[in-house]
């Protein structure tokens, strides 16, 4: 699928049917997930003192 | 066909003309993709605050992960200066002890030594997969995850390092290095004596602290507080959660060790700077400065600007020991320093430093989620190294102020930034990459039997540079920085910095919830390796390397009646005087002629 033609997914007509795994669907899900508790995620992935 | 170079960098082109052809006479049988190579990867941990494991130290989490890993694959304790295990795949997993008492410490995976690009890719992916599965087993319900990235939201740096066996030096430089090693011996002896005294001091402290604690325990209402002050943990936790003592002691030891080893480090650094991999460092630098265009992981900085690479902006010197004085070098020699001051309890290790072949360690490079980016990162570097060692690399364009140039290149995802060259002119990162592409292509053309795998790297390299110039979006899924930037653009400028930074970090999560993994599930990213290849690499060490023998012995003897341990140099079976030592050195230089069993040297202590 050409990436330029991606459009936001249309809402499913029946919530019992899982949305197909498409780039557009996954991208939308990622953006929604990223907005949720972002500050906590950053805090919980801290690596004190780093490494080599 | 690559686009025509602008006149400003015609100096680059002239090295590849007929006038220089005599420099590139056929060298028909140069070794290609034959050297030993390996990757080290430090993984961050995502530990949700709500997790019941959140109070456990990182060392405690490492122990849980290690035990889960041992249920997935046979493994034995490492006989090494840091705590870890070697597994039947030939690789190792370490607890990278960066200030653990102060909350630090990382999970580090080291692939087995490999002798081929595809072999290394498979081993790296097998390691990611094994550790991800072990994390799921150990902390599944707690949702503690591993991240294969290089920088956290606060700017702490860790991540990947590449290792290539290469020619350390030749002629007078090699003799200068060997002379320096001999001349440094009194300083080494002094440093060892001081470190032994320090060890004696720690033992004395432990004894006195224990006596003091036992004497006071009965008279104090809450002895846990005293135990924490003296040992860094309560008596119940001692031995399983905090092996390094209290924070104040750790900070003191860290400081005093630096002071004790500083003179030796300074002397060693001088010797390294004058002699170690001089030709390789000089000819490879412009390649590494521009390599992020194909293999950078992408990074969102504190101001919301996008960079091509995660680790590159943090580099502060070209050559260094690495970490001793807050240095973060492109070429790092910490492993040589450790051999001189810490691992050198046996004369054997000291004498290995006299060899003309050593491990070249490159710290400039990001951990990759995309297989294709990882393939290009290692494949192109291998080709450049082979070309340099064969003497086929034409004079390279010298970049003025390399660290400044590196930062400028990485700060421009449009790839239009030019960097100044010594002697005048400017060029872009893509032009630098094309210079090396052409040099390596010519090098391969001269080979009697060019390796198909090397030819494929050249083709993919060229296609990638072309795509970056014409339509970088066609590389979504193939290059990490392009993919990450694309997701960030889709999130929109309106998204908060925290949201965008979460995309930057969670892209690297090794779980089905990780953003790269989610995109991969759609088929947008094309894997180079089949699932069967990765599965095979999870169980089997790479052939024709020291890891072949190490892995075989570990699979055979782990879990048996006899104690087994291993390191990069040998496998040890049994204890005390009856320990059998299987040395792996004979597998380092070239492929064993008739399979593993012929060359094994088994000694009895």
Reported confidence tier of residue B240, pLDDT bands at 50, 70, 90: low
Chain B residues with CB-CB distance to A31 below 8 A: 487, 490-491, 495, 503
Average of per-residue pLDDT across B419-446 = 97
CB-CB under 8 Å, A48 with B99: yes
pLDDT digits (tens, 9 = 90+) for B396-418: 999 999 999 999 999 999 999 99
Which of these ranges, B17-31, B91-105, B465-479, has the smallest mean pLDDT? B17-31
Entry pTM: 0.89
Chain A residues with CB-CB distance to B102 below 8 A: 48-49
Of residues B412, B399, B158, the one with CA closest to residue B308:
B412
Chain A residues with CB-CB distance to B96 below 8 A: 51-52
Of residues B122, B137, B123, B136, the one with CA closest to residue B93:
B123
Q: Cβ(B405)–Cβ(B411) under 8 Å?
A: no
What percent of chain B shows pLDDT beyond 70? 89
Task: Return the sign of the alpha-carbon dihedral for residues B453, B160, B57, B47.
Answer: negative
Interface of A with B (CB under 8 A): 3-4, 21-23, 26-27, 29-31, 33-35, 38-52
Of residues B231, B182, B236, B241, the one with CA closest to residue B210:
B231
Q: Which residues contact A34 (CB under 8 A, 6 or more apart)?
A: B491, B495, B499, B500, B502, B503, B506, B515
Calculate the alpha carbon distances from B140 to B68, B146, B350 in Å.
11, 11, 44
The ranges of chain A with pLDDT < 50 are 1, 4-13
Retrieve residue B459's tokens: 């083709």
Retrieve residue B337's tokens: 């320093």
Reported confidence tier of residue B11, pLDDT bands at 50, 70, 90: very low
Taking 90 as the threshold, does the pLDDT of residue B218 lie above it? no
> Residue A35 belongs to what H/E stretch?
helix A23-35
Q: Which of A22, A41, A47, A49 is best to mutate for the B interface (most B CBs within 10 A)?
A: A47
Chain A residues with CB-CB distance to B98 below 8 A: 49-51
| Amino acid B241: pLDDT | 57
CA distance B495 to chain A (A): 8
CB-CB under 8 Å, B96 with A51: yes
Q: Which of B146, B498, B514 is best to mutate for the A interface (most A CBs within 10 A)?
A: B498
Distance of alpha carbon B175 from alpha carbon B164, whole angstroms: 22
pLDDT digits (tens, 9 = 90+) for B293-310: 999 999 999 999 999 999
Average of per-residue pLDDT across B382-407 = 97
DSSP conformation letters of B12-58:
HHHTTSGGGGGGG---TT---S-S-EEEEEEEEEE--TTSGGGGS-H
Q: Strand, helix or coil at B282?
A: helix
Q: What angle is formed at CA B173 by the lines to CA B171 and CA B176, rounded to 5 degrees?
A: 115
> Which residue blocks in B291-370 are alpha helix, DSSP H?
292-295, 334-341, 347-352
CB-CB under 8 Å, A44 with B103: no
Shortest CB distance from B156 goes to which of A31, A43, A50? A50
Task: Return the sign of the alpha-carbon dihedral for residues B53, B54, B60, B65.
Answer: positive
Count Cβ atoms below 10 Å from residue B168 Cβ, excluding itself.
23
Chain A residues with CB-CB distance to B327 below 8 A: none
CB-CB under 8 Å, B521 with A42: no
Task: Return the sign of the alpha-carbon dihedral for residues B399, B400, B403, B406.
Answer: negative
Shortest CB distance from A45 goes to which of B40, B108, B153? B153
For chains A and B, count residue pairs whose Cβ atoms are closer than 8 Å.
120
CB-CB under 8 Å, A46 with B156: yes
Q: What is the signed CA dihedral for A10, A14, A20, A23, rounded to 10 degrees? A: 20
CB-CB under 8 Å, B45 with A47: yes
Chain A residues with CB-CB distance to B519 below 8 A: 23, 26-27, 30
Chain B residues with CB-CB distance to A50 below 8 A: 98, 104, 152, 156-158
CA-nearest residue to B335 within chain A is A52
CB-CB under 8 Å, B102 with A39: no
CA-nearest residue to A7 within chain B is B490
Distance of alpha carbon B438 from alpha carbon B8, whole angstroms: 18
**Locate tokens 């990074």: which residue?**
B299
CB-CB under 8 Å, B476 with A39: no
Of residues B105, B111, B113, B125, the one with CA closest to residue B65:
B105
ipTM of the shown complex: 0.88
Q: CA-based Rg of chain B, rounded to a whole angstrom? A: 25
Alpha carbons within 13 A on the beta-carbon side of B364: 31
Of residues A22, A19, A20, the one with CA closest to residue A7:
A22
Distance of alpha carbon B370 from alpha carbon B515, whole angstroms: 12
Chain B residues with CB-CB distance to A43 below 8 A: 49, 153
CA-nearest residue to A30 within chain B is B515
Q: Cβ(B346)–Cβ(B79) under 8 Å?
A: no
CA-nearest residue to A35 within chain B is B499
CB-CB under 8 Å, A52 with B104: no
Distance of alpha carbon B382 from alpha carbon B402, whole angstroms: 21
Average of per-residue pLDDT across B158-168 = 96
DSSP conformation letters of B157-175:
B--EEEEEEEE---HHHHH
Of residues A9, A6, A31, A19, the one with CA closest to residue B524:
A6
Taking 50 as the threshold, does the pLDDT of residue B191 lie above it? yes
Count Cβ atoms below 10 Å from residue B182 Cβ, excluding itself.
9
The more confidently predicted of residues B88 and B17 is: B88
Distance of alpha carbon B483 from alpha carbon B16, whole angstroms: 34
CA distance A27 to chain B (A): 7
Task: Return the sign of the alpha-carbon dihedral for residues B457, B459, B462, B467.
Answer: negative
């Amino acid at each position: 699928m050409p990436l330029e033609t991606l459009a936001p997914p249309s809402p499913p007509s029946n919530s019992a049917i899982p949305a197909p795994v498409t780039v557009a669907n996954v991208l939308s899900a990622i953006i929604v997930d990223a907005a949720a508790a972002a500050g906590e995620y950053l805090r919980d992935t801290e690596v004190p003192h780093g490494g080599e | 066909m690559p686009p025509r170079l602008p006149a400003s960098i015609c100096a680059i082109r002239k090295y590849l003309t007929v006038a220089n052809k005599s420099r590139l006479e056929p060298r028909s049988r140069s070794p290609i993709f034959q050297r030993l190579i390996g990757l080290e990867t430090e993984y961050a941990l995502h530990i949700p605050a709500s997790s019941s494991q959140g109070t456990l130290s990182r060392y405690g989490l490492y122990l849980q992960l290690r035990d889960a890993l041992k249920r997935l694959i046979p493994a034995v304790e490492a006989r090494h200066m840091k705590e870890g295990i070697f597994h039947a795949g030939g690789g190792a997993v370490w607890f990278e002890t960066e200030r653990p008492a102060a909350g630090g410490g990382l999970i580090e995976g080291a692939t087995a030594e490999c002798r081929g690009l595809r072999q290394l890719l498979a081993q790296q992916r097998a390691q990611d997969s094994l550790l991800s599965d072990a994390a799921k087993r150990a902390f599944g319900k707690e949702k503690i995850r591993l991240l294969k990235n290089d920088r956290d939201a606060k700017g702490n740096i860790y991540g990947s390092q590449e290792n290539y066996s290469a020619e350390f030096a030749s002629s007078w430089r090699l003799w200068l290095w060997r002379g320096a090693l001999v001349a440094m011996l009194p300083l080494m002896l002094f440093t060892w004596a001081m470190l032994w005294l320090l060890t004696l001091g720690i033992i004395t402290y432990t004894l006195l602290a224990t006596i003091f604690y036992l004497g006071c325990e009965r008279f104090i209402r809450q002895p846990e507080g005293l135990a924490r002050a003296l040992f860094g943990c309560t008596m119940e936790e001692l031995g399983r959660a905090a092996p390094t003592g209290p924070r104040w002691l750790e900070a003191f030891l860290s400081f005093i060790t630096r002071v004790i080893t500083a003179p030796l480090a300074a002397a060693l650094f001088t010797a390294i700077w004058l002699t170690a991999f001089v030709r390789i460092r000089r000819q490879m630098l412009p390649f590494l400065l521009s390599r992020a265009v194909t293999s950078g992981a992408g990074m969102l900085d504190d101001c919301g600007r996008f960079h091509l690479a995660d680790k590159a902006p943090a580099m502060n010197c070209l050559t260094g020991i690495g970490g001793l004085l807050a240095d973060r070098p492109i070429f790092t020699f910490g492993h040589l320093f450790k051999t001189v001051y810490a691992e050198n309890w046996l004369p054997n290790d000291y004498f290995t430093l006299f060899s003309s072949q050593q491990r070249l360690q490159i710290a400039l490079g990001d951990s990759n989620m995309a297989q294709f980016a990882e393939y290009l990162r290692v494949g192109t570097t291998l080709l450049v190294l082979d070309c340099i060692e064969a003497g086929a690399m034409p004079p390279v364009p010298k970049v003025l102020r390399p660290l400044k140039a590196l930062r400028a290149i990485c700060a421009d995802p449009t790839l239009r930034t030019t960097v100044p060259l010594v002697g005048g002119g400017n060029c872009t990162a893509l032009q630098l990459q094309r210079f090396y592409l052409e040099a390596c292509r010519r090098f391969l053309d001269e080979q009697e039997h060019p390796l198909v795998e090397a030819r494929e790297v050249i083709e993919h390299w060229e296609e990638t540079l072309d795509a970056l110039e014409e339509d970088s979006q066609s590389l979504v899924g193939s290059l990490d920085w392009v993919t990450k930037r694309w997701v960030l653009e889709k999130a929109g400028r309106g998204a908060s910095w925290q949201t965008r930074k979460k995309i930057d970090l969670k892209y690297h999560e090794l779980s089905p919830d990780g953003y790269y993994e989610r995109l991969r599930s759609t088929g947008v990213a094309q894997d180079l390796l089949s699932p069967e290849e990765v599965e095979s690499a999870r169980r089997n060490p790479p052939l024709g390397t020291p890891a072949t023998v190490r892995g075989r012995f570990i699979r055979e003897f782990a879990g048996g009646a006899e104690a087994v341990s291993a390191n990069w140099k040998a496998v040890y079976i049994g204890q005390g005087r009856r320990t059998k030592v299987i040395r792996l050195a004979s597998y380092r230089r070239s492929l064993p002629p008739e399979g593993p069993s012929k060359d094994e040297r088994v000694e009895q202590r």
